[in-house]
Amino acid sequence: MANSLLHIDKHVSYIQSLDTRKDRLDYHLTSHLRLSGVYWGLTALHLLNHPTALPRDATIEFVKSCQHPNGGFGASPGHDAHILYTLSAIQILATVDALGSVSKTNVVSYVAGLQDKDTGCFAGDEWGEMDTRFIYCALSTLSLLGELKNPAIDVPKAISYILQCLNPDGGFGMAPSAESHAGQIFTCVGALVIAGVLKEEMSPDQIDLLGDWLCERQLPNGGLNGRPEKLEDVCYSWWVLSSLAMIEKLHWIDRDKLVEFILSCQDDEQGGIADRKGDMADVFHTVFGVAGLSLLGYEGLKEVDPVYCMPKEITESVLNGYKLV
């Protein structure tokens, strides 16, 4: 079989071009994803070793313009705040070393206000939808801000909610007794790692069972799906692999077949990576494809942090900075 390569330069130009396509319909159709789109593009560029390919000052200004008076961030200026975009904002600012440009107190009080005092779970926004994904967003945001020990947040209660979502098949769902799903597993395992309790709360047998469930996501074509009976999709190269990395079972997957699958989903002409071969590339699948390759040790890429989905050297430097204080 032909050995294809990662088109680093094409992916860099593809991501740079996203910002200049304001005349195109898809720009407007995706305005609800804008802040996360910047996070995906910026992270991909860092992992591709082109950290300065987006203008830093304009990036910081855009992030600040998305902050809502309640302290959270919306997808675009004037949009309602949501915890997903709040995490994207903090990830972007951490990546460009500009966390000091927003008020930490306001962000923390927004995040703290989303926690349900009875269950410990977090809502995504003021409308109250609860989901284990939002616990991850909250803990990741607070951790990047060095505020995990803030008394306004009940981390042990959030962790006890996550453990209620652990299923007998080894996976985690979005709520107690909800079906296991690879995306939810990433967020639940990530929350346990951020809180520093993974090995305390999961036995070696539970971790092995989870590892088995994750490895069963690999299909004969090398790609990974998000749950049984579903099609392969490049973004699961991230949700599944990062979970395997966090439980130290990354070597359980067939690396070469997965690398080949991700590379086959590239747009060989325009750059960008699609969910699967032949589909249209988008920045979401581009970053998760590149991040997956990084976890697999693909040559020429910066190392990604499986917990935060950011360049590891950046998360290490941010988190070490808090330890010194």
Cβ neighbours, 10 Å, residue 78: 9
Q: Determine if 282 is a binding residue for Zn ion (CB under 5 A).
A: no
Q: Determine if 232 is a binding residue for Zn ion (CB under 5 A).
A: no
| Least distance between Zn ion and beta carbon 226 (Å) | 8
**57 φ, ψ (degrees, to nearest 5):** -65, -45
Only segment of 6-14, 60-68, 212-220, 225-233 that touches Zn ion (CB under 5 A): 225-233
Q: Which is nearer to Zn ion, 275 or 305 (CB)?
A: 275
| Least distance between Zn ion and beta carbon 314 (Å) | 24
Compute and round to an integer the Cα radius of gyration of the chain: 19
| Least distance between Zn ion and beta carbon 133 (Å) | 15
The DSSP element (H or E) to which 309 belongs, if any, is none
| Least distance between Zn ion and beta carbon 74 (Å) | 23
Q: How many residues bind Zn ion (CB under 5 A)?
A: 3
Q: What is the rounded CA–CA span in Å between residue 45 and residue 47?
A: 5
Only segment of 103-111, 125-133, 188-196, 229-237 that touches Zn ion (CB under 5 A): 229-237
Only segment of 27-35, 171-179, 231-239, 314-322 that touches Zn ion (CB under 5 A): 231-239
Q: Which is nearer to Zn ion, 172 or 239 (CB)?
A: 239
| Least distance between Zn ion and beta carbon 49 (Å) | 24
Q: Determine if 15 is a binding residue for Zn ion (CB under 5 A).
A: no
Q: Determine if 233 is a binding residue for Zn ion (CB under 5 A).
A: yes
Q: Which is nearer to Zn ion, 141 or 184 (CB)?
A: 184
Which residues touch 188 (CB under 8 Å, ≥6 apart)?
132, 135, 136, 162, 165, 166, 172
Q: Which is nearer to Zn ion, 235 or 265 (CB)?
A: 235
Tokens of 289: 């494809």
Tokens of 3: 């050995």
| Least distance between Zn ion and beta carbon 121 (Å) | 25
Are the C-beta atoms of residues 292 and 217 closer than 8 Å to each other?
no
Q: Determine if 131 is a binding residue for Zn ion (CB under 5 A).
A: no
Q: Determine if 290 is a binding residue for Zn ion (CB under 5 A).
A: no
Q: Which is nearer to Zn ion, 195 or 253 (CB)?
A: 253
**266 φ, ψ (degrees, to nearest 5):** -75, 150
Q: Which is nearer to Zn ion, 121 or 224 (CB)?
A: 224
Binding string to Zn ion for residues 250 to 279, with x set by CB under 5 A, is what?
Answer: -------------------------x----
| Least distance between Zn ion and beta carbon 170 (Å) | 22
DSSP conformation letters of 154-217: -HHHHHHHHHHTB-TTS-B-SSTTPPP-HHHHHHHHHHHHHTT-HHHHS-HHHHHHHHHHHHTT
Are the C-beta atoms of residues 292 and 234 closer than 8 Å to each other?
yes
Q: Which is nearer to Zn ion, 137 or 234 (CB)?
A: 234
| Least distance between Zn ion and beta carbon 202 (Å) | 27
Q: Determine if 241 is a binding residue for Zn ion (CB under 5 A).
A: no
Cα torsion angle, 283, 91, 290, 170, sign: negative
- Quickly count helices (H) and strands (E) in the chain: 15, 2
- Of the candidates 277, 271, 279, 273, the residue with the CA atom closest to the CA atom of residue 292: 273
- Of the candidates 163, 191, 165, 159, the residue with the CA atom closest to the CA atom of residue 178: 165
| Least distance between Zn ion and beta carbon 32 (Å) | 17
Which residues pair with residue 130 across a beta bridge?
123
Q: Determine if 235 is a binding residue for Zn ion (CB under 5 A).
A: yes
Residues contributing to the site for Zn ion (CB under 5 A): 233, 235, 275
